[in-house]
Amino acid sequence: MTPDIYGYAYFQTSGFSPKLAPVVDEVVRWFSFHSQGPAIPEIAARMQELADVARAGVADVLNADSEEIMLGENATIGINVVANGIDWKSGDNLILSSHEHPGNRLVWYNIARLHDVELRFVEMTDDQDRMREQLTRLIDNRTRIVSISHVSRRTGVRVAARDLVRIAHERDVPLLYDGAQSVGAIPVDVRAIECDFYVFSGHKYLMASQGTGGMYIRKDRIDWLRPVWIGSRSQKDFDLQGNMELLDNARRFEFGTRNLPDQIGLGKALEIWKSVGWENVFDAIRRYTDRMKQRLEEIPRLVLETPLPYDRSSGIVTFRLPGHESGAVLQSLQENEKILGSSLEFDSEGIRLSTHVFNTEEHLERLVSGLQRILRTGR
């Protein structure tokens, strides 16, 4: 891919990334192949085989087992599978953070409404002692789950993942990490974190098709979830009298006709990143992000909302220019310098820029000169 897409400095990977050119080629190739006749046994078998390669690729990058991976269209599907798979009782509670995306928020608001469940919120902060303290204080014997971002979509703060799991598990409470902003940007090892569930999107840092993603479900949590989201292909066996046996693995939550070319494209993306070397990818994102923070700090009065230390942040940099409305700043940068960022419309006044390996020094120059222009001219 070229670093300038329609002339934009593309800092919107946290929303949707541009796609890797070989991934696009792969999707088109297998879409054409599949479309010849999806019911032809040789075609169907080949497509399934390649989609299973994608599943193995996801398992590999998360350090999970393929049997623990559910593939779907996005991160939010996994959150729904978990949220609706809990046997809620009136008076239960669940814990989110204050920075959650609507995908990890509305699902739970709905649960609260449907089942008379209390919502509790940890204030997301880069002070991990405070995070631990808050979680310890909020959890009680009616808490059924903690669902929180591994990396905040708002500030890019990276939580102390293992510590929060430990606190939840001490009270026998499962923990779901929303990894939409982490997978592909920072190392994720679900075995080391020991979380129960981990959802991710393919269309952000992995640079795979829109509408790819999935979830890791720790083996012992597969049967723990009530299977409210199943259908054809979820089964190991069934008869016409109402008996069925579900698959033992996370595929029980996948059903119906699937978009296999895009899943194969996800597998291709994972193969490419692996061949580049994940450490190289993570390191390039880290170096670029550090450099962006450094350059932004040169702008008078600019307030960085993202912590400086990279081990407490990720590939997201959020800032404000006091006295300037963020939406207007972003629009001005977009119109004049072709900087593409996000204004975080739901829950922040900040401007969010996300970085990836394709961002260049020239993008940073353009950003800095645009901000200086706004300070000089007032708009």
Ligand X SMILES: Cc1ncc(COP(=O)(O)O)c(C=O)c1O
Which residues from 295-354 bind ligand X, rule CB under 6 A? none
Q: Report, in Å, the least distance between residue 98 CB and ligand X.
A: 13
For tokens 């903690």, the residue is 146
Whole-number Å distance between alpha carbons of 16 and 14: 6
- Contact flags string 57-96 toward ligand X, x per CB under 6 A: -----------------xxx--------------------
Give buried/exposed letters for 351-373 (b at 16+ CB in 10 A, else e).
bbbbbbbbbeeebbebbbebbee
Region from 101-109, 308-316, 341-349, 350-358 binding ligand X, contact rule CB under 6 A:
101-109
- Contact flags string 207-226 toward ligand X, x per CB under 6 A: ------x-------------
Q: Report, in Å, the least distance between residue 348 CB and ligand X.
A: 12
Closer to ligand X by CB, 17 or 134: give it. Answer: 17
Integer distance in angstroms from the first to the last C-alpha of the chain?
Answer: 32
Binding-site size for ligand X (CB under 6 A) equals: 14
Closer to ligand X by CB, 153 or 286: give it. Answer: 153
Whole-number Å distance between alpha carbons of 28 and 25: 5
Give buried/exposed letters for 181-214 (b at 16+ CB in 10 A, else e).
bbbbbbebebeebebbbbbbbbbbbbbbbeebbb
SS3 of residue 12 by DSSP: coil
99 contacts 347 by C-beta, under 8 angstroms: yes
| Among 104, 125, 289, 318, contact with ligand X (rule: CB under 6 A) | 104
Whole-number Å distance between alpha carbons of 180 and 76: 9
| Among 178, 262, 305, 337, contact with ligand X (rule: CB under 6 A) | 178
177 contacts 189 by C-beta, under 8 angstroms: no
Structure tokens at 278: 């994940």
| Among 180, 207, 304, 371, contact with ligand X (rule: CB under 6 A) | 180
Region from 99-107, 131-139, 225-233, 243-251 binding ligand X, contact rule CB under 6 A:
99-107
Cβ-proximal residue to ligand X, closest one: 74
Residue 50 contacts ligand X per CB under 6 A = no
Whole-number Å distance between alpha carbons of 356 and 19: 12
| Among 149, 259, 306, 332, contact with ligand X (rule: CB under 6 A) | 149
Q: Report, in Å, the least distance between residue 114 CB and ligand X.
A: 20
| Among 97, 155, 181, 313, contact with ligand X (rule: CB under 6 A) | 181
Region from 21-29, 98-106, 258-266, 366-374 binding ligand X, contact rule CB under 6 A:
98-106
DSSP one-letter string for 183-246: BTTB---HHHHT-SEEEEESSSTT---TT-EEEEE-HHHHTTS---S--TTSEEEE-TTS-EEE
Closer to ligand X by CB, 17 or 181: give it. Answer: 181
Give the residues lining the site for ligand X (CB under 6 A): 15, 74-76, 101, 103-104, 149, 153, 178, 180-181, 201, 213
